[in-house]
Amino acid sequence: MSQKTVRLTMAQAVARFMTAQKTVIAGETVPIFGGVFAIFGHGNVAGVGEALYGVKDTLPTYRGQNEQGMAHAAIAYAKASFRRRFMAVTSSIGPGALNMVTAAALAHVNRLPVLLLPGDVFANRLPDPVLQQVEDWGDGTVSANDCFRPVSRYFDRITRPEQIIPALRRAMQVLTDPAECGPVTLSLCQDVQAEAYDYPESFFAEKVWVPRRIMPDADEFATAAAAIKLSKKPVIIAGGGVLYSEASESLAAFAEEHGIPVMETQAGKSALPHGHELNMGSVGVTGSSASNVLAEEADVVIAVGTRLQDFTTGSWALFKNEAVKIVGLNVQPFDAGKHEALPLVSDARVGLEALDAALMGWQVDSDWTHKAMREKDKWLEAADAATGPTNAELPSDAQVIGAVQRARQKATLVCAAGGLPGELHKLWKADAPGSYHLEYGFSTMGYEIAGGLGVKLARPEDDVVVMVGDGSYMMLNSEIVSSIMLGAKLTIVLLDNAGYGCINRLQMATGGANFNNLLKDTHHVTLPGIDFAAHAAAMGAVSRKVGSIAELEAALAETADADRTTVIVIDTDPLITTDSGGHWWDVAVPEVSERSAVNAAREGYLKALQAQRIG
């Protein structure tokens, strides 16, 4: 067979292949790769670097400051694009590569596509050991990049140039599959990046990827529909899958037609507008009182596109109805069948629309729907009380959230770790689908600012507001520089409570002494007094420190039109959180301790465990 070929290096083949992959967004064919984040070193500068230069006008390369940060940005880009578009990230070998492992795990947990292209050691092994090579004297095939295996959906090491052909094909299948999607790692041996091969021209033909919408199985569907029809007190839990399937309208129609209240996970929040009368808000450990009261009584829980992690299920103690049945509507069978659920493997939109049609004419008893609406009103009153203006010298996180919400009503909010996610889950009023972007699958400190950059690249028109604690800021803030370089303006609101407030509270709740969380409780010779505004200014950001909620609102209004990333710092109280709503969370308390507070907490813990549904 005489196929037309083109002689390219393996790295050039990777770059060229990426430029040929397309998708359709709003009727327009666009590149499926939004770009490549790159930090070069040995192991990628000569091979991948040369290849990316060659395609820079069609596939832009962005220089980040830290490999983990770049990968966070790339992953956030995919999440903000509802997984319809994604990015690649390339690193040198050794430390550069391993800096991406945490991000790979983040993408794995959150089911988000990203193509990781770390450099690897020489396939020919002749110059071994090279700089930054982890030598394994028991196994010649192992390199540092094997760390990516458990946190990649697909991993391959490319030791011959032609291997990249099946590897990239498999990579695209995984990146675009709604059930399998997650991080793909192609570990590119540095000598092989530079080796040439006669690649078939057809390998670089344009390919347009359209999302696959999985239809339900007839038997599973009949069982699920029958269970819902028999229910008296059904609820819907909307997870991230609702957003990725762009199923908000179908969800609203289904809930309205049948009178079923909807509650949202962290990844699912903004599936319905907060003002929708059937949107009960957050559910679970950081749930609204409305959601949690209903979830306790529910006889059928229609779990749509959710992993049902412990924050959603209150560590499986939330659903108190003995007869409760879960219907697991999910593209991924692994999730659909969790906890004795009746699995309904399907795309969320297709599944909801099919259920709607099958249940046409059936409505839940209106008492249940009215109860939901009353509970929602009660919750809104409590939430408004928590977020209202204040003159307090040290405001709460909730009061800062209220100020941000009042000043930037249309903001797209980004956050990941600390005390803020719980407060935002309860209190942030999200409107448009995707306007609430929480990384709470892995809850990675340091995702916030880098993630904000990815969101802004994916949605340049959005007013992207990042809320971040002092601890997360200290862990990873350097992509502020990238955001300024790229003209990707972020508004960063930094809540400085001088330490790890949420872990300090958790420590107290489990009977622990205040120890090693707030800066004042750490072993130190000098107590740090970090000037965050000066730090951000030094990186080129517009920055200021404000002394009150009123000043914060004014600063947010004033900087709305700033031409670059802006950091606004406010001191907050580390001890206050919103009492209303919420649910127990399983955190194991020591069985024996010399501290009486720990013993008391242990007693409470054992009682709480009795409510846990095992299965």
Ligand X SMILES: Cc1ncc(C[n+]2csc(CCOP(=O)(O)OP(=O)(O)O)c2C)c(N)n1
Please give the C-alpha separations between residue 383 and each of 387, 388, 389, 571, in angstroms, as whole numbers: 6, 9, 12, 22
List the beta bridge partners of residue 518: 499
- If contact means CB under 5 to 8 A according to the sort of partner, which of ligand X, Mg ion, none does residue 182 touch? none
Report which residue type is found at 313. T
Q: How far is the CB of 475 from ligand X (least distance, A)?
A: 6
Site for Mg ion in 413-452 (CB under 5 A): none
> 120 CB contacts (<8 Å, ≥6 apart)?
43, 93, 97, 143, 145, 157, 158, 187, 188, 189, 190
Name the residue nearer to ligand X (CB basis): 195 or 521.
Answer: 521
Neighbours of 117 (CB within 10 A): 28
Name the residue nearer to ligand X (CB basis): 6 or 503.
Answer: 503
By CB under 6 A, tell whether 421 contacts ligand X: no
Name the residue nearer to ligand X (CB basis): 61 or 399.
Answer: 399
Candidate segments 44-52, 494-502, 544-552, 554-562, binder of ligand X by CB under 6 A: 494-502
Name the residue nearer to Mg ion (CB basis): 291 or 497.
Answer: 497
Q: Which DSSP string do the residues of 427-469 spell out, in sequence order? A: H----STTSEEE--SS--TTHHHHHHHHHHHH-TTS-EEEEEE
d(CA 537, CA 556): 16
Q: How far is the CB of 421 from Mg ion (least distance, A)?
A: 13
Find out whether 39 and 99 touch, Cβ atoms under 8 Å. no
| Residue 275 token pair | 């003002």
Q: How far is the CB of 75 from ligand X (least distance, A)?
A: 15
Candidate segments 89-97, 174-182, 463-471, 563-571, binder of ligand X by CB under 6 A: 463-471
By CB under 6 A, tell whether 445 contacts ligand X: yes
Name the residue nearer to ligand X (CB basis): 119 or 469.
Answer: 469
Tell me how many degrees the CA angle 492-495-501 measures, rounded to the nearest 5.
Answer: 140
> 365 CB contacts (<8 Å, ≥6 apart)?
232
d(CA 495, CA 608): 32
DSSP 8-state code for residue 521: G
Place of tokens 């749509």: 304
Q: Is the dihedral of CA 173, 111, 342, 436 positive or negative?
A: negative
- If contact means CB under 5 to 8 A according to the sort of partner, which of ligand X, Mg ion, none does residue 503 touch? ligand X
Q: How far is the CB of 497 from Mg ion (least distance, A)?
A: 4
3-state helix, strand and coil shares in percent for the chain, rounded to the nearest 5: 40, 20, 40
Pick from 472, 483, 559, 577 the residue near ligand X by CB under 6 A.
472
Number of H helices, E strands in the chain: 24, 23
By CB under 6 A, tell whether 106 contacts ligand X: no
Q: How far is the CB of 415 from Mg ion (least distance, A)?
A: 13
By CB under 6 A, tell whether 420 contacts ligand X: yes
Site string for Mg ion, 449-488 (x = CB under 5 A): --------------------xxx-----------------
Q: How far is the CB of 438 from Mg ion (least distance, A)?
A: 17
Name the residue nearer to ligand X (CB basis): 152 or 444.
Answer: 444
Neighbours of 166 (CB within 10 A): 10
Candidate segments 20-28, 66-74, 107-115, 412-420, binder of ligand X by CB under 6 A: 412-420
Number of residues forming the site for ligand X (CB under 6 A): 17
By CB under 6 A, tell whether 548 contacts ligand X: no
Site string for ligand X, 268-307 (x = CB under 6 A): ----------------------------------------
- If contact means CB under 5 to 8 A according to the sort of partner, which of ligand X, Mg ion, none does residue 419 touch? ligand X
By CB under 5 A, tell whether 395 contacts Mg ion: no
| Residue 378 token pair | 């009660």
Pick from 61, 497, 507, 559 the residue near ligand X by CB under 6 A.
497
d(CA 585, CA 339): 17
Find out whether 546 and 568 touch, Cβ atoms under 8 Å. yes
- List the one residue out of 64, 55, 116 whose CA is nearest residue 90: 116
Contact set with Mg ion (CB under 5 A): 469-471, 497, 501
Contact set with ligand X (CB under 6 A): 417-420, 443-446, 469-472, 497, 500-503
